[in-house]
Every structure is written in C-alpha cells, then in structure tokens.
Amino acid sequence: MPFINTVNKNKTIFLSVYPESKITGFKSEMSRVPRVKQKKIPLTKDGNLQFNHPVPNKVKLISGEEFEFIRYTAITCDPDEFVEKKYSIRQKNSKRQTEIMIVITMYNEHDTLFIKTMTSVIKNVDYICSKWPGNESWKKIVVLIVADGRNKINNRILNVLSAMGCYQGGILQNCVKRKDVTAHLFEYTTELMVDSDFKIHNIPPVQIMLCLKEKNAKKLNSHRWSFNAFAALLKPKICILLDVGTKPSKTSIYHLWKDGYQKSFGSLKIPLTRQGNLQFDYPVPNDVKDTSNKESESIRYTAITCDPDEFVGKKYSIRQIESERKTEIMIVITMYNEHDTLFIKTMTSVIKNVDYICSKWPESESWKKIVVLIVADGRNKVNKWTLNILSAMGCYQDRILQNCVGRKHVTAHLFEYTTQLMVDSDFKIHKNIPPVQIMLCLKEKNAKKLNSHRWSFNAFAALLKPNICILLDYIFFIFNKKNKKVLEFKVGLEILSKGPNFVSAISAFPWQLFLTDSYWFFLAFDHDPNVGGACGEIKVDLGRKCRNLFNLLVASQSFEYKMSNILDTPSESVFGYISLLPGTFSAYRYEALMNGPLEAYFKDDTMHVSGAPKTNIVEAN
C-alpha cells in the first residue's frame, strides 16, 4: 500500500495513517482495505518529523506519556549527521542519565531467536534494577534494536514488537520534505514481554528504541547508527552489543557492566607524599565496607617503585605503623598462578586461625596485633579468579593500579585493608567475621618465590618488626598424568614434642590448617625464648581408606615425608638446626633472622641467580 505525504507552506505534513491490523495471537490479518486517514502533523523547529502516536489500550498498562504513546521519528540523514540535524530522543528530553545502552542488531533472523534474545535481555534489565538502589533505576537503561533493512526483517518479529507496543506499521513514512527517509525510529517504554510460547507477560518498565533502517547496509552500518547517532546523544557509560540469537544469562549483562564500570578510569588528582611516593586511600564499595569499623571504609594503595631492600630507606609507610600498633604475628602467604579454590581453602583456614588466636588473647582488639601478608608473584601470572575473590573481600581494586610514578616503573602494588568478609569453598560470602588486617603485595613481574620472601622480610617485616613470622604456601599439589587427577598435599599442626631447639608438628586434617595451628606456633615461641624456628610436616593425601597408596608416586612421596619427619628432623635438631624448603609450613622469630641469616638466604636472589641449590632455609635456636 503506498504512503502518501504532502507538505504545505506552513511546515506541516499531512500524515497518512493506516489503522493497525487485528492481532489474534501473532497472526495479522487485514479484513479489508481500509480508508486512508490523514493527520496534520507539524514539523519540529529544525524541520524534522517527530510525533507521539497512541498505542492500543491492551498495550498500555499505566498512565504516563511514555506508556500511552509511542514516539515516531522519520530520519532523513546519515547517522553521522543525526546530532547535527538536531534530532531528539525521549531519554534526552527527560534529562535522564543513561548508564547502560544494550544494542541488539538483527537482519532477517527467525522470530523465535529474537524472542529468546529479547526475553533474556529483559530479564537482565530486571536483575540489574534489583541490584541498583531506587524504584526507577530502569530509567538508566536503554535497549536499542537496530533492524538492517525494512524489507528484509522477518514480519513475525514486527508482530512481536507490535504486541509489546514498540512498533506501529501504520505511521511509517517514505519521505519528509521531499527527502527520502533513511531510518525509522520508534521509542516506547513497554511493560510486556513475549515468551517462547508466544504468551504475553507483565514486566517492569523497559525503555526500548527500535531503529528500522530503510535499506539493508550490513552490520557495520548498524553499529554506526548505534554509536554515531544514538549513543552520541544518550552518552551512556557502558555499551553492550548483542546479535539476535544470543541468549545472555540472567546476570551476565550486570557483570559486564560491573566489570566495565570498575575498569573505567577517571581522572583523579592525587598528591604525592613528601618523599615522592604515591600512596592514597580509596573508598570501597558499599557492599564491602562495615560502618562500625572506619578502617573498612577505604583501601590503602601504594605504588612501590623500588627494590624490597630499599623499601624502608625510601620511607614508604604502612597503616599498621601509622596507627602505632605492635605486630605480634605476621602470617605470610605466597602464591603464583594456583587455582582459586586452593586460595580459598588456605585463606579461610588462616582467618579461622586469626579468630582463634584473638579468642585466646585477653585484649578486646587483639586482632590489631596480627597482620596477614599475601605476596602474589607476578601481576599477569596470578589467577584472575583469585583477584575476584580478594575484590569481594575488599582487599583489591583493579581500577586504581598504576604502571609508573614520576617516570619510574612500579615494581609492586601494595593494598592494605581490614576486612570482615570471608569467601568459603562454595563461593558464599560470610559477613561479620572478626576484623583481619590484610596486606596484598602484587608484584609487577614474576621473580620466583625467593624474591617473594625478600619482599616479606626485607620490606614489610623490616617496618612491622613482628615477633613471629609464619610462612605458608598454597596447598602443595602434584599432577598424576595417568589418572589426570590432582593429588593434594595437606598441611596441619598438632604439637607432638617441643624443646629448646625445635618444634615438630604433624596433622592429618584434610585440605586446610587446624583451627589452632597458628596459636600453637605462637605458644612454642612464647613459652621458650630460645626457640628461633618451628616447622610443620606436609602430609600426602592418601584418599579414602588410603587408596592413593596404590599409586607408586604417592606411596614414594608419603614414605619420603615420613622418613624425613621421623629421622631427618630429629637428627638435625640434636645439633640445633632444622633444614626445610622455602614456603614450607613454618614459623620464625624475626629477631633471630636478623644480622646474618636473611642476608645468606637472599644472596642468590640479590645476585639474580635462579634455581641455586642454596635456596633452602635453616632454622636455628
């Protein structure tokens, strides 16, 4: 049916309006050819055709212009000229800020694919609004549908859009002021959704813009309409692109927005310290901070540009020192690229140990005497999921990382935060745990474990001056290629004997440390001032009913560890020494390591020699 429009001298247009077809389900039928109705529509001041048209009564559910009327705009220009020609959009006229613009591009796909994509997007919008504060957060989200060719699009998709109130075929125009229309724009805030069974459901409001291009010009042109025309007016913070047929999960768009928002850098002017160091406090998300504890309201970030041996000389500061707190125990956890589940098990055990120690100490704020230091060996090597877990605990903020300070490359990133959150093995967050002071040292480059220990002792322990240093690794593991199974080593502590020279320890507790392990370490040093070091035994996971012993590799490893604990350790203790590998579950009196032992221990790292045979640590009384 031809479209008729004429223009008179008063800048008005006689619009040919065809009545909507009767919709029964989704079968459109025209019972007869209706008469053409003409409406006199004034053009805008800029000569554009833009007007509101009422939607059917079955579509509008609540009162309000955006629910009762669909806005139609006949665009006669190129997408790059959309802003210049002063076309307007409802979202802009209402002075609403657009946080997310979701773009759906389509050609002539099947209507079932469109329904799946559209249903998923609407569910995502509903989920995002449930996470944002306020009852009208839907006003910050716009869903833009760009159809590549008016004659190419599946007509059943147009029927679905008509049922949602987002399309009116009877008001389309071919030209305005003798200019051919290049695209048709429909704007409507719908409260209806069509599911895969073609049933209509009521939903929270969703702002939908349908751009129906007159001619097919490929997907790249559709994206040009999205960014150069509509996004140029809306100025959204995040743009999410989808094709028809893509079915995002209920929470995926929210996580895309969250990730994009956290990684979007804003300009923030931070003054350097008197010593020329970059160090500042940054607020943590509201879901993380605890209003009862001021330290949990912000995270301290320090961009370190020096070697660990120069950390004290460069006059870097730590929250613990600024608060004039005495550090009794420093627990050091070193990691590389291990799996996030291993980190959770180790971290959960450490937090429980800190809680147990605080329950044994008389002071009400005894947690201030314990610092948990996590040293990650390489910013690009660490497991990203581990960083996500640390972010959920409030101990890491990716968006504030800096690469250089004063033309000096950053060698390590230090985050300091007092958390009251814990993530368990089921990835559930537990709140209101006792405060735990956590320091995360994220090294810029991978430099091996010995270098991580040098950061721990020569940089942070040199400032904190703790009484006891406890070293932990992730739970050690070996890989069985035949069965493709990870055989976990377990670390635990149960005091068997103690003397002036050593403490020997063993435990069969699976996967994690005993609740009291760190406390028994502390008692060993507290009761005997001559104890300079203590260690625990690593035990191989034997499996249920010791089934793993049928594996020769597991059996030989178990035999080696048992013999080492039964023969080697007692024999060495007779002479006042215990030798063990770096990172083994062990503790040291920091005072005993100064003036000699640490210099010999880190000699290979300072000479940049890797894999040297002398990189084992010796405990002495």
Phi, psi dihedral angles at 80 (to 5 degrees): -70, -20
pLDDT at residue 517 in the model = 55
| pLDDT of the residue at 214 | 93
Per mean pLDDT, which range of 140-154, 304-318, 546-560 is the poorest? Answer: 546-560
153-157, 221-225, 489-493, 528-532: the lowest-pLDDT one: 489-493
C-alpha distance from residue 119 to each of 199, 202, 211, 594 (Å): 12, 12, 19, 65
Average pLDDT of the segment spanning 264-293:
79
CA dihedral 27, 33, 34, 37 (to 10 degrees): 110
Residue 342 has pLDDT above 80, yes or no: yes
In the numeric block, the tokens 């160091």 are attached to 277
| Cβ contact 104:242 at 8 Å | yes
Average of per-residue pLDDT values in the chain: 80
Average pLDDT in the 553-558 region? Answer: 86
Average pLDDT estimate for 569-583: 72
What is the predicted pLDDT for the residue at 416? 95
CA distance readout (Å), 117 to 104, 112, 143, 153: 9, 9, 12, 16
Confidence tier at 361 by pLDDT (50, 70, 90)? confident
DSSP string, 308-353: GGGTTTTT---HHHHTT---SEEEEEEESS--HHHHHHHHHHHHHH
Write the pLDDT tens digit of every residue in 368-415.
999 999 999 999 889 989 999 999 999 999 888 888 888 899 999 999
pLDDT(272) > 90: no
Give the highest mean pLDDT range of 19-33, 155-169, 349-363, 568-582.
Answer: 155-169
Exposure pattern of 348-358 as b/e (b: 16+ CB <10 Å)? bbbbbbbbbbb
Is a pLDDT exceeding 70 seen at residue 590?
yes
pLDDT of residue 386: 92
* CA–CA distance, 263 with 207 (Å, rounded to integer): 26
- CA dihedral (381, 386, 387, 390) in degrees, to 10, reads -150
Distance CA 88, CA 204 (A): 25
pLDDT above 70 (res 530): yes
Mean pLDDT of 51-79: 89
Angle at 164 between CA 62 and CA 34, to 5 degrees: 105
Residue 135 has what pLDDT? 79
Q: Mean of the pLDDT values across residues 560-583? A: 76
Cα(561)–Cα(574) distance, integer angstroms: 19
pLDDT band at 209 (very low <50, low <70, confident <90, very high): very high
DSSP classification of residue 568:
I
How far apart are alpha carbons 193 and 116 in whole angstroms?
11
Q: Calculate mean pLDDT across residues 98-122.
A: 93
pLDDT for the residue 72: 94
| 308-319 per-residue burial string, b: 16 or more CB within 10 A, e: under 16 | beebeeeebebb
**CA 443, CA 316: separation in Å to the nearest integer?**
16
User: In sequence order, what are the residues at sequence separation of 6 or more whose Cβ sits closer than 8 angstroms to the Cβ of residue 191?
Assistant: 61, 62, 67, 202, 203, 204, 205, 206
Higher pLDDT, 479 or 197: 197
Return the sign of the alpha-carbon dihedral for residues 61, 64, 68, 71: negative
Question: In this predicted structure, what is the pLDDT of residue 520?
Answer: 62
pLDDT at residue number 445? 92
Which pLDDT score, from 0 to 100, does residue 31 have? Answer: 37
207 to each of 59, 166, 230, 252, 383, how far by Cα in Å? Answer: 14, 10, 14, 19, 38
Q: pLDDT band at 583, cuts 50/70/90?
A: low
200-213 and 141-147 strand pairing: parallel
Residues 6+ apart with CB under 8 A from 76: 48, 175, 176, 177, 179, 180, 181, 182
The better pLDDT of the pair 155, 135 is held by 155
DSSP helix, strand, coil percent of the chain (3-state; round to 5): 30, 30, 40
Task: Provide the pLDDT for residue 507.
Answer: 27
Q: What gap in Å lies between CA 405 and CA 396, rounded to an integer?
A: 19
On the question of pLDDT at 569 being above 60, the answer is yes
Half-sphere exposure of 510 (CA within 13 A, CB side): 6
Are the beta carbons of 166 and 70 closer than 8 angstroms? yes
- Residue 425: which pLDDT band, with cuts at 50, 70 and 90? confident
What is d(CA 351, CA 435) in angstroms, rounded to the nearest whole number?
9
pLDDT tier at 486, thresholds 50, 70, 90: very low
CB-count burial class (<10 Å; 0-12, 13-18, 19+) for 346: buried
Give whichever of 9-18, 447-456, 513-522 has the largest mean pLDDT.
Answer: 447-456
**Extended strands (E) in 522-576:** 533-535, 538-540
Q: Please tell me the number of Cα atoms within 13 Å of 130 on its side-chain side.
A: 11
pLDDT exceeds cutoff 90 at 237: no
CA distance 198 to 99: 31
- pLDDT, tens digit, for every residue of 443-470? 999 988 889 999 999 999 999 999 988 8
pLDDT (0 to 100) of residue 89: 93
What is the pTM (predicted TM-score) of this model?
A: 0.55
Does residue 565 register a pLDDT over 70? yes
Q: In percent, how much of the chain has pLDDT > 70?
A: 79
Q: Does 29 score more than 50 pLDDT? A: no
